[in-house]
Amino acid sequence: MAIQITPKKFNKILVGVDDAPDARAAFDYAVDKAKRDGSEIGIVSILESNDINVYQALDKDYIHSTHDQLNERINEYVQAAIDYGVDPKKITAIVDEGSKPAERIVNHVLPQYAADLLVIGSIGKSDSRKIFGSQAAYMAKNAGISVTIVRN
């Protein structure tokens, strides 16, 4: 009896991005998988409200400009996916806000986007090597779907 290999294809991939090298590697992996599988891909970034001091939080102009900057950045990721060959109709940009990005993705973004694969970097931009992968570990444990963790 020959062993037959049947790669798992996913319909909707959600990838978390920030400016960390591991997140960029996760993005590259997710975009390649989406292109190969013909999957939809959601590209999500979370505006971390715990990085904003009380005065900034009260300044609507500051929040608006920070949100606009994050939207610009996410659009760069969208364009990179298009340039790689992913169908633009299959790409969704998602910018959300919260103090705990992993919890926000698992409890809010995933249910709304209805992904069947979550791709994330092992260490985010604000994490230190001492708390290796705490965000990634939380998402892998609580996502309720397949999770791929990519390390650069």
Tens of pLDDT, residue by residue over 6-20, are 989 999 999 999 888
Dump pLDDT digits (tens) for 19-67. Answer: 889 999 999 999 999 999 999 999 999 987 765 554 454 454 444 457 7
**In a domain? residue 2:** no
pLDDT of residue 51: 56
Whether residue 60 is contained in a domain is answered as yes
Domain count, the chain: 1
Residue 106, domain CATH: 3.40.50.620
In 3D space, the residue among 98, 115, 141, 142 whose CA is nearest the CA of residue 34 turns out to be 115
Residue 1 placed within a domain:
no
**pLDDT tens, 82-97?**
999 999 999 999 999 8
3 in any annotated domain: no
- The answer as to whether 136 is a domain residue is yes
Give the three-class secondary structure for 117.
strand
Structural domain harbouring 119: 12-150
**One-letter identity of residue 51:** D
Residue 114 within a domain: yes
**Helical H runs in the chain?**
21-37, 54-58, 60-84, 101-104, 110-113, 134-142
In a domain, 6, yes or no: no
Global pTM reads 0.85
